[in-house]
Structure 1
Amino acid sequence: MEKSQQLQQLKPEVRAYLDRIGYTGPLDGSAAVLAKLQRCHLYAVPYENLDILRGIPLSLKIDHLHDKIVTRRRGGYCFELNALFGWLLRELGYDVTDLVARFWRDSTDSPPKRRHQVLKVIVDGQPYLCDVGVGGIVPREPIAMNAYEEQRQGEETYRLEPDAQYGWFLTELKHGEWHRIYSFTEEPQLAGDYEFATFWCENAPDSIFRQTPILAIRTEEGRNTAFGSEVRLFKGTEVEVLTPENDAEFDSALEKYFGIKR
């Protein structure tokens, strides 16, 4: 089937989502297409917590997420981004299971709370870990769920390590050593299961999401990030640091470097 015919048979909401992330390729349900969809998403949709900072309650209902991320061209954080990306994959015929994770990188808790959502996607019998909801550096393409298989993506190398207590650890190779990013089990989660975690993230006094703006998006040169009032533009091994002096300059940076208008 030609690509134009494939697109015509999709729901308008799905076509709008594909347009939002700039995906124009085939839709054959393959692992290669899955990888390109995830990559497109990370390069088009920013990670951001601006609604939490403004005290705007988040909704994890798909129609609300579609309006925010696709129609209004905003971003979100893990429970928003991975919920909507999982919906897209299901609409395209993928076998998707929602999972919950503990984020170990930079955590001050041991063990950390289960406050991150990830996806398991099975293609031709092979399970993959998919995640478009992290503000830090994580795989830009799905990771095959094979124990200890090193998987290189550009300058980054990842592997999954099985653990008797925590299920799987996603780890990254840095300076010759493997470091934990997050852990997850394969117990399927229902939509309502994430309401407890997102309520904590939105309302707990010690939640990092309530403290300061956190934004990130991949770029062809590297990535753009914001933490607090500082914006960083990573291009290869170089980084440019910008410090907006007022709200107007910060809003301008949001639009220029993250595609967000507020």
Structure 2
Amino acid sequence: MNVQAYLRRIGFNGEPDGSAETLGKLQELHLQSVPYENLDIIHGLPLSLQVEPIYRKIVERRRGGYCFELNALFGWLLRELGYGVTDYFARFWRDETDTPPKRRHHVLRVEAEGKLYLCDVGVGGIVPRRPLLLLEGLEQRQGDELYRFDRDPEFGWMLMEQKKEGWSRLFSFTEEPQLAKDYLMASYWCEHAPDSVFKNNLIVAIHTKEGRNTVWNEEFRLFRPDGVHAFTPASKAEDAEALKTYFGIESDDGGA
């Protein structure tokens, strides 16, 4: 495992100086370089939540992963660069119909220059591109997106996002530090449960400088300032080429 190889993987060419600005750049570049994807789950390949196999998958094989993989490895990188990192378990509220949602999302609290930030590179949808200061009530704008943290007496910190209809819950977490093994059962559920969205749907997503690229089952969508461009590949070869072109994924079989 090599820090410089990881930094090259995400296109970071600066000086890893432990600053808050560098932390923000690392998260932004990570979201634009490493796709969120569940190809291994779809193809029945068991996931490992140990850092070494995740490193080989993401850095050496240039694949992606989902939150339990992506934030575990990003947390390792940040620790190697001297940041203080604490792992938390979150409840993902957006689009959840059966509330309150179960705890099945991995997020990171990171200390930089004496301040605490919430970092997350493990969501396929619209999420903060840069770390958010962990301060209650402070509205934090990132481009067209606006976020703030509320405090809920039952669910702890609640990350809110502004929608047209008002403020909406994104995810929540309490300040109980987690060990790597604490995520095993939730990840196993995501891999194997009959009603798991990850088992029943192919999901791929990556941020771009212009917007996002996504896949939901067979349909590719490219979100750009001029609108959404959607298409469905006509063959397995076209599908593999599209995964390579828009996500940098060169394997069409989940790495088998």
TM-score range (shorter-chain normalised) is: over 0.9
The one-letter code matched in structure 2 to 1:41 is H
- Which structure 2 residues correspond to residues 79-158 of structure 1 after superposition, within 5 A? 79-158=68-147
1:189-228, Cα deviation, whole Å (9 max, x unpaired): 0010000110000010000000121011011111101101
The one-letter code matched in structure 2 to 1:150 is E
Distance in 1 of aligned mates of 2:78 and 2:238: 37
The one-letter code matched in structure 2 to 1:161 is D
**Offset, 1:237:** 4.5
**Offset, 1:124:** 2.7
Distance in 1 of aligned mates of 2:247 and 2:85: 28
Distance in 1 of aligned mates of 2:4 and 2:12: 9
TM-score, normalization: structure 1?
0.94
Distance in 2 of aligned mates of 1:106 and 1:248: 33
Answering whether residue 47 of structure 2 is matched by residue 67 of structure 1, we say: no
The one-letter code matched in structure 1 to 2:237 is A
Structure 1 segments of 4+ aligned residues over 3 angstroms from their partners: none
Equivalent position of 2:254 in the other structure = none
Q: Identical aligned pairs, as a percentage?
A: 61
Distance in 2 of aligned mates of 1:223 and 1:177: 23
Equivalent position of 2:231 in the other structure = 242
Distance in 2 of aligned mates of 1:171 and 1:225: 23
Unaligned runs of 5+ in 2: 252-256
Distance in 1 of aligned mates of 2:9 and 2:241: 21
Relative contact order: is structure 1 or structure 2 higher (C-alpha 8 Å, sep ≥ 6)? 2
Answering whether residue 195 of structure 2 is matched by residue 180 of structure 1, we say: no
Distance in 2 of aligned mates of 1:71 and 1:62: 13
Tell me how large the CA RMSD over aligned residues is.
0.9
- Which structure 2 residues correspond to residues 164-179 of structure 1 after superposition, within 5 A? 164-175=153-164, 177-179=166-168
Distance in 2 of aligned mates of 1:244 and 1:159: 39
Distance in 2 of aligned mates of 1:255 and 1:85: 23
Equivalent position of 2:193 in the other structure = 204
Equivalent position of 1:6 in the other structure = none
Distance in 2 of aligned mates of 1:194 and 1:151: 29
**Offset, 1:176:** 5.3
Answering whether residue 217 of structure 2 is matched by residue 228 of structure 1, we say: yes
Distance in 2 of aligned mates of 1:222 and 1:247: 26
1:121-157, Cα deviation, whole Å (9 max, x unpaired): 0123311000000010000000000101010111111
Answering whether residue 235 of structure 2 is matched by residue 257 of structure 1, we say: no
Count of residues in Structure 1 that have an aligned counterpart in Structure 2: 251
Equivalent position of 2:40 in the other structure = 51
The one-letter code matched in structure 1 to 2:248 is G
Distance in 2 of aligned mates of 1:213 and 1:13: 30
User: Alignment partner of 1:182: what SS?
Assistant: strand
TM-score, normalization: structure 2?
0.96
The one-letter code matched in structure 1 to 2:44 is G
Answering whether residue 13 of structure 2 is matched by residue 13 of structure 1, we say: no
The one-letter code matched in structure 1 to 2:59 is V
